[in-house]
Structure 1
Amino acid sequence: MTDQNEVRLVKRAKQGDMHAFEELILQHEKIVYNVALRMMNHSEDAKDISQEVFLKAYRNIGNFDERSQFSTWIYRITANTCIDEMRKRKGRQSFSLEEELESEEGSMQRQVADAGETPEESMLREEQKSEILQALESLSPEHKVAVILRDIKGLSYEEIAEILELTLGTVKSRISRGRNQLKQEILKLREQDAHFIRHKRGKEGRQ
């Protein structure tokens, strides 16, 4: 969608044109869902968050500052909605190592090889992806959203600063700390896996 077309749609949506608003949402629904999915790690939660984001956008479209891009505004609503929901849930749920990890293509248990990949390469790629998603669960909502926007969605530091309404320095600091915590968590997960394998082999050897 061109910037000019987006500007026209926003102006019409502000005037109460539901079709214009729906077209804006259609252009951004995948972005909203994917960010929510990475943040919440569950497809049904991501769908619920997406609906809440679109409802908030509809209610507040009149307050949208047209000097910003609509995508930036939608990203901000999505990030804040996810952070709020994660804070509400804090302490009320735990992450299960046995739970299937969700991705845009489905659960992480499904291993679909890219063209030219050997089965071993495909399995390694999926294990690494699963490892990262699992490690993301250890981050605070604030660090998690910053890492997702930068390393998974590929946004610039400047774009993230605008979306989260933070200084550039704060964004860089959160991403750096989030990445360091991710590395530590991945190492911890690998140690746990190695311990489990050693324990299992020792148990089988005693049988």
Structure 2
Amino acid sequence: MKDKLNILVEKANLGDRKALELVIIEIKDLVFNLSLKMLLFPEDAKDATQEILIKVITHLSTFNNKSQFKSWVYSVATNYLLTQKGKRSKEFAMPFEDYADLIDLGQSNEVRYSKNEGELSLLEEEVKVSCTQGLLLCLNDLDRIVYILTDILEFNGVEGAKILKITAENYRQILSRSRKKIRSFLNNKCGLANPKNPCRCTRKIDFLIDQKIVNPKKLRFAKFSNRSIDLVHQISDLENSIAIYRSTPSFPAPQAILKEIKKTLNID
């Protein structure tokens, strides 16, 4: 039985413009969140999302209805993200060793920037999401997309392999390698993953503000979420390294994306 989205796609392929708009509305957030996890910076993710949505729309007639439409969208999106690099994310990416050095720098027991509890709560969340998402950039592109698909978005190995059009065995090997690197780093550096580690998100607030990695006047992540940092240890059925990522909520795609797409397609 075809789901609602697949039916909308059929109607869109027959020239129904309203159905096409509804298809875009249904997939824009998932494309944006995948792009954000791959590219870290919302500005890069916004540009990538627009390009991916245009590719989905212009190739919509090639969807054969033999699979779930969202899986096909992920395939289009991952193909784009593996070949295109965000400008800021490319500049920020670094080896695990350099990221470890960055974690060790500038830790302070007292926050100079603010004493306001509400503001500190937001800044702590901003550091948590920025730091853990930034860590993903230490993986190469293919390793990163495999880790995101399975350990964050919860696709199984068979589904992930189909999305990336690689063998299931290859996918498993890449996932094992990625998990080992992320788990090892977090267990050795992150206080959320291992309480024995000295690093805490609050201890990095001043340093990251001074380095202009976090802009307290224009938070990228904290304004969208309800303190995912408090949820990490409540996800008891997962190891901490995975719970850290799954605790972070999905983010809404900027409204400007839909407006631009509708303008491009002349949808009123």
The 1-side partners of 2:172 and 2:137 are apart by: 20
Deviation at 1:33, TM superposition (A): 0.6
Please tell me the residue identity of whatever aligns with 1:69: Q
Superposed, 1:141-156 pairs within 5 Å as: 141-156=141-156
Deviation at 1:155, TM superposition (A): 1.5
Deviation at 1:77, TM superposition (A): 1.2
8 Å CA contact 1:135, 1:186 repeated in 2: no
Deviates more, 1:53-62 or 1:182-191: 182-191
Deviation at 1:41, TM superposition (A): 0.2
8 Å CA contact 2:36, 2:45 repeated in 1: yes
The 2-side partners of 1:9 and 1:110 are apart by: 45
Superposed, 1:1-207 pairs within 5 Å as: 3-86=2-85, 93-95=91-93, 111-112=121-122, 129-186=129-186
Please tell me the residue identity of whatever aligns with 1:134: G
The 2-side partners of 1:34 and 1:164 are apart by: 17
Deviation at 1:156, TM superposition (A): 1.5
Hey, which of these two has a bigger chunk of helix by percent?
Answer: 1
Evaluate the alpha carbon distance shift between residue 146 and residue 110 of structure 1 in structure 2; reply closer, same or farther with a 3 A threshold.
farther
The 1-side partners of 2:88 and 2:36 are apart by: 17
Deviation at 1:132, TM superposition (A): 2.8
The 2-side partners of 1:72 and 1:17 are apart by: 22
Residue aligned with 1:161, SS: helix
8 Å CA contact 1:12, 1:20 repeated in 2: yes
**Fraction of identical pairs, as percent:** 26
8 Å CA contact 1:132, 1:182 repeated in 2: no
Deviation at 1:127, TM superposition (A): 5.9
Residue aligned with 1:93, SS: helix
Evaluate the alpha carbon distance shift between residue 80 and residue 3 of structure 1 in structure 2; reply closer, same or farther with a 3 A threshold.
same
Runs of 5+ consecutive residues of structure 1 not aligned to the other structure: 99-108, 113-121, 198-207
Runs of 5+ consecutive residues of structure 2 not aligned to the other structure: 95-101, 104-118, 191-196, 204-268
Aligned residues: 173
Deviation at 1:16, TM superposition (A): 2.3
Evaluate the alpha carbon distance shift between residue 61 and residue 23 of structure 1 in structure 2; reply closer, same or farther with a 3 A threshold.
same
Deviation at 1:138, TM superposition (A): 0.7
Structure with greater contact order relative to length (CA < 8 Å, sep ≥ 6): 2
Give me the TM-score of the superposition, normalised by structure 2. 0.55
8 Å CA contact 1:32, 1:75 repeated in 2: yes
The 2-side partners of 1:58 and 1:151 are apart by: 28
The 1-side partners of 2:151 and 2:70 are apart by: 18
Residue aligned with 1:149, SS: helix
